[in-house]
Structure 1
Amino acid sequence: MNILWFILIGMAAGWLAGQLVKGSGFGLVGDIVVGIIGALLGGLIFSTFGVSAGGGLLGSLIVATIGAVILLFGLRLIRSA
């Protein structure tokens, strides 16, 4: 059941990150996939620096969204080069 929540939060974070980061997007499906990968990246970044966004759904969504935004910026930099 935890993996299902992880995927759902990643999907929501991907959509939210796509709305926050304007420009030539990857489309809805691409942003959702980026959100799922960004959720992993956000969790890794936050745990590496020992930072906590709080527990529960909202904290997980914040961490996943930050990771997805960072990933989107990186992908768009690579894509434009």
Structure 2
Amino acid sequence: MIHIRFFASLRERLGSASMNFEYAGEQTVSQLLSELYEKSDNLLMLKEQDVMVAVNQTLCGHEARINDGDEIAFFPPVTGG
């Protein structure tokens, strides 16, 4: 099982801060996203180009490998001034 977390505006739009996802085997973030899109139309917002992803608190791209027990986090870009 993997733990998926949503931050900031993604959390607000989904109405949820996290979810657990049954997971079998090793795959990439991109493959996980495809499964999430099939699970719920609400998760299609993760397709937005500026959504960032981290695996186990390390920023990564969609080609990053994930394993059982990992934490995957999605969040909008951080801005500051």
Q: TM-score range by the shorter chain?
A: under 0.3
> TM-score scaled by structure 2?
0.25
**Structure possessing the higher relative contact order (Cα contacts under 8 Å, 6 or more residues apart):** 2
> TM-score scaled by structure 1?
0.25
Task: Name whichever structure is richer in strand by fraction.
Answer: 2
